[in-house]
Structure 1
């Protein structure tokens, strides 16, 4: 099968370049949010690890004869909320259930309304324009 004969054409008929670019910017913004979400999960795991490590440090301090310092750290920091009333899992859940979910729904809605639901139309159009047709490793599709 000639994979070059089947272009990666996701562009709905009569869709103008300005609309494709604008919808692409919405999706690009979502990609930033997705990356931020990954960092939020990293923050969640790092803070959880820090809390567990601090618990271990308290045990080591107590074993070394420094119970006052261990008690203070346990009282003031171990298990402490990182934001008012929240551990990091609560921050992640609130972000996921609110902003992230809404952003994904709005991105999908814009694509459905303007691009017949197709994803990455901007990128597919760019690929079709930039690739060298007929050359190995420039195929439109796998």
Structure 2
């Protein structure tokens, strides 16, 4: 381990270094596609939240049906139980099917393209654009601004 502040001459680690001959626009393009994939990952997280919230909603209907029956309103309980409990949220689909179709379709295709672009432009290296930004923005030699974890 290097002592704090000893990394004045350190730069990017090899895993994040720009391959020789790779231009700025290529690095920027690969970085932008990776950023888009990361945003899609956040969208997927919201889809999973939707999936879990709708599932919890469906399970809560059981309690509502029971309470309607206890209140002597079998007519309303029957209507909710037969029309809402277990109902598809989209034609023919529960939310788990939406998640699976999204994962196997759009998300998988997007990830394939992101990887193909990285392979073609940065030798498959991830986050080259961000690693270079880190190198430009950090204060060399200052604790908390080390180039790599090995410099801490």
TM-score (ref. length: structure 2): 0.89
User: Which stretches in structure 1 are left out of the alignment for 5+ residues?
Assistant: none
Q: 2:19, 2:139 → 1: CA distance?
A: 23
CA-CA distance at 1:18 after TM superposition:
1.2
2:11 to 7, 10, 24: 7
Q: Deviations over 1:111-137 (max 9, x none)?
A: 011100000000000000111111111
Instruction: Work out the number of aligned pairs and report it.
Output: 142
Q: 1:138, 1:17 → 2: CA distance?
A: 24
Q: 1:55, 1:36 → 2: CA distance?
A: 30
User: Which stretches in structure 2 are left out of the alignment for 5+ residues?
Assistant: none
Moved over 3 A (4+): none
RMSD: 1.2
Correspondence for 1:61? 68
1:126 to 122, 127, 133: 133
Question: Is 2:106 aligned against 1:102?
Answer: no
Q: 1:114, 1:68 → 2: CA distance?
A: 64
2:78 to 71, 75, 82: 71
Q: Is the partner of 2:77 in helix, strand or coil?
A: helix
Question: Is 2:144 aligned against 1:140?
Answer: no
Q: Deviations over 1:59-108 (max 9, x none)?
A: 11111211100100111111000000000000000001111111111101
CA-CA distance at 1:14 after TM superposition:
1.7
